[in-house]
Structure 1
Amino acid sequence: MPLQSRFVSPLLCLLLVAACSGLTLGQEATTEKSIEGKYLSNVRQVTSGMVKAGEGYFSPDGKQIVYQAVPPQYPFYQIYTQPLEGGKPELVSTGRGRTTCAYFTPDGKDILFSSSHLDPNMTQTEQEEIARQEEERKSGQRRRYSWDFDPYTDIYLKNMATSKLTQLTSEKGYDAEGAFSYDGKKIAFCSDRDGDPDIYLMDADGTNLKQLTNAKGYDGGPFISPNGKWIVFRSDRKKEGFLQIYVVSIDGEKEIALTDNVGVNWAPYWHPTKPYIIWAGADHSKPGRPNYDLWLMKYEETDDTIKPGPVWRITDSPAADVLPVFSPDGKQLMWTSTRTDDHSSQLFIADFTFPEDESTAGQ
């Protein structure tokens, strides 16, 4: 999941992994004992063979994943699905254009994703990117990363049985970062169709559009709560380039900030059965390069608000850890990490233990 190119400084560091870019952020050595064993067990890498891969989501039955990856032979991310137990990646997107943010429908029959493959200048766009990457390889210098809010990016739905591709948005501008409600009736997504990235809600067929946020700056990465009442998202409305976690009611009438610090808090995701939200974040209040790790918050929900509660740090690897998601049964955690041998970003999965269950971890 991306941010606009105008958002730089601390946010830029995160976005290298945010778009699965092979970031080697925070690879400094550490001698402190890791906390990860309290919460994560049976950690294993689940993607390989791609230049970089990440932002993975589970199928409703938990047996497959869908994710974005840059294949060796193409300069832009494409969408793939693969079984968790064996099997090879299967291309979901068209094989051309910039793609991002894939998500299964609740019945598992279709996959939602965003793509710019209808760019009328697609060949030129590809050739320009290939030339830039080749220049970087020759010079050994990587350009400053920024996510391209491609104005030809729209949201599509692909039926996995028939391969039929249905276009759900067609407004000029960037439409992406979409996810279904648990009942499959609604899609929350990010759009800059009014000149500024905001959160929108539409029916599953692309109709009945409603804009939910309209603050200055970036609002993106929305996910609808399991009970369908709230949408969690990230925003830099308080300070440009410094993301905080917010929730907005499904009708757009109430907004609550869940984090408020000097840092980047990014990629929030609901636990399916317990009152927890997990996200990636880093402290930018001190000089130097911060490390991005996963953080867990317990919240309290009432009829008209969500109250933030205690927060736990889940990972402390010297690699960057971002884009965490829970499995449908809430027992596993999948995230994007550069804890690979070559420091490329890939997907990892682990069995998850909640803070209140630490004493029984590993038993």
Structure 2
Amino acid sequence: MPMRLQPILSLATLVLVCTATSLVLAQEQASTPSIESNTLSNVRQVTSGMVKAGEGYFSPDGKRIVYQAVPPQYPFYQIYTQPLAGGEPELVSTGRGRTTCAYFTVDGKNILFSSSHSDPNMKQTEDEEIAKQEEERRTGQRRRYSWDFDPYTDIYLKDMKSGELTRLTTAQGYDAEGAFSYDGKKIAFCSDRDGDPDLYIMDADGSNLKQLTDAKGYDGGPFISPNGKWIVFRSDRKEEGFLQIYVISVDGEKEFALTDNVGVNWAPYWHPTKPYIIWAGADHSKPGRPNYDLWLMKYEETEDAIKPGPIWRITDSAAADVLPVFSPDGKKLMWTSTRTDDHSSQLFIADFLFPEDEPQEEK
């Protein structure tokens, strides 16, 4: 899923941003004990062999993961799945086009993802991207990367046993960032079919489409709460390029902001059993390039509202830590990080414990 700065940035940008500042931050942190051991233990890398990989999600039984990765011989992200215990990645997407945002069905038999492989000019699109990447390697100069809201991106469902691919959206425009409700009956997603990225919800078969937001700016990255009443998402409606975390009721009638700061807050995700939301954020109120870390908020739910509560900082690595998700039992945390030897984005996982002390830092 993309994040939206100015312009919209991808994980590639995070690699560049954090590489530029990682040495300075590492020196500063060398004399300061890390806070990560307060909540994270047994941290390990779970993807390798790809140019970059990220945005991973667990299967319902917690034994497999699905994620997006750029393979060595292709310029765009593709979708892969593999056993969490180890094994070779299995290609889920078609192998062509831009792909993003994969998610398991509640029975674990099918995988939802978005793809632009229906692009009628696919060969030209691929050749142009390959040429740009070759020029970057030749000159050593990287372009400022922005996420492509590819107008041929649609949402698909793949039967992992038969290989059958079902197309769930057909409107012109970017349809992506989809995720199932916990009962598997609904899909929340982002679409710019009306010219502006907004939130939509539909039945699992693509029927009964309903638009939920219509604010100016980007609304995206939606996830439906465990009880099915709320959707958490990120939006830059307050100030372009600066994302904040919001929740909206599934009927679109009630909406609340959970963050309000000078920064970027994105990729929010619900804990499956307790009233917590985790996300990635960076403070843009100070000079210099900020670093992305993971943040945890305890919220209060009433009959008609979600109220923000105390916030804890979860990571403090000099690398970028983004796109956090909990395992189905809530005992593990998986996220995308550039804390690799080559600073490439890869998936990491850790055992997770809730913080016992008072909030360390308000954000």
Tell whether the structures are fold-level matches, with TM greater than 0.5. yes
Retained in 1: the 8 A contact 2:11–2:345?
no
2:205 alignment counterpart: 205
1:160 alignment counterpart: 160
Partner SS, residue 135 of structure 1: helix
Provide Cα deviations, 1:228-279, integer angstroms capped at 9, x if missing partner. 0000000000000000000000000001000000000000000000000000
Aligned-partner Cα distance in 1 for 2:264–2:287: 14
TM superposition outliers: structure 1 runs of 4+ over 6 Å: 18-22
Retained in 2: the 8 A contact 1:178–1:221?
yes
Aligned-partner Cα distance in 1 for 2:109–2:94: 18
Aligned-partner Cα distance in 1 for 2:245–2:326: 18
1:18 CA displacement: 7.8
The percentage of counterpart residues that share the same residue type is 83
1:175 alignment counterpart: 175
Retained in 2: the 8 A contact 1:23–1:344?
no
Provide Cα deviations, 1:266-306, integer angstroms capped at 9, x if missing partner. 00000000000000000000001111000000000000000
Aligned-partner Cα distance in 1 for 2:320–2:298: 23
Retained in 1: the 8 A contact 2:18–2:318?
no
Q: Quickly say closer, same or farther: Cα 1:108–1:357, change in 2 above 3 A.
A: farther
Aligned-partner Cα distance in 1 for 2:158–2:17: 28
1:356 CA displacement: 2.6
Which of 6, 12, 28 in structure 2 is aligned with 1:8?
6
1:47 alignment counterpart: 47
Partner SS, residue 309 of structure 2: strand
Partner SS, residue 124 of structure 2: helix
Provide Cα deviations, 1:71-91, integer angstroms capped at 9, x if missing partner. 000000000000011210000
1:56 CA displacement: 0.1
Letter in 2 for 1:316: D
Retained in 1: the 8 A contact 2:299–2:307?
yes
Do residues 268 (structure 1) and 268 (structure 2) align? Answer: yes
Aligned-partner Cα distance in 1 for 2:59–2:357: 26
1:22 CA displacement: 9.5
1:318 CA displacement: 0.2
TM-score when normalising by structure 2: 0.95
1:17 CA displacement: 5.0
2:252 alignment counterpart: 252
Give unpaired runs (5+ residues) of structure 2.
359-363
Which of 24, 32, 41 in structure 1 is aligned with 2:19?
24
Do residues 295 (structure 1) and 295 (structure 2) align? Answer: yes
1:2 CA displacement: 1.2
Aligned-partner Cα distance in 1 for 2:157–2:320: 31
Retained in 2: the 8 A contact 1:17–1:322?
no
Q: Quickly say closer, same or farther: Cα 1:182–1:196, change in 2 above 3 A.
A: same
Partner SS, residue 6 of structure 2: coil
1:136 alignment counterpart: 136
Aligned-partner Cα distance in 2 for 1:146–1:97: 16
Aligned-partner Cα distance in 2 for 1:25–1:44: 24
Do residues 349 (structure 1) and 349 (structure 2) align? Answer: yes
Letter in 1 for 2:19: T
TM-score when normalising by structure 1: 0.95
2:56 alignment counterpart: 56
2:214 alignment counterpart: 214
Aligned-partner Cα distance in 2 for 1:285–1:233: 22
Q: Quickly say closer, same or farther: Cα 1:18–1:110, change in 2 above 3 A.
A: farther
Retained in 1: the 8 A contact 2:338–2:345?
yes
Aligned-partner Cα distance in 2 for 1:325–1:20: 20
Aligned-partner Cα distance in 2 for 1:164–1:19: 35
Letter in 2 for 1:241: G
1:24 CA displacement: 2.7
Letter in 2 for 1:171: A
Partner SS, residue 136 of structure 1: helix
Give unpaired runs (5+ residues) of structure 1.
359-363
Provide Cα deviations, 1:21-66, integer angstroms capped at 9, x if missing partner. 8963641322211000001000000000000000000000000000
Retained in 1: the 8 A contact 2:12–2:145?
no
Letter in 2 for 1:43: V
1:89 alignment counterpart: 89
Provide Cα deviations, 1:310-360, integer angstroms capped at 9, x if missing partner. 0000000000000000000000000000000000000000000101389xx
Provide Cα deviations, 1:154-192, integer angstroms capped at 9, x if missing partner. 000000010000000000000000000000000000000
Greater alpha carbon shift after TM alignment, 322-331 vs 16-25: 16-25
1:361 alignment counterpart: none
1:236 alignment counterpart: 236
Retained in 2: the 8 A contact 1:18–1:323?
no
Aligned length: 353
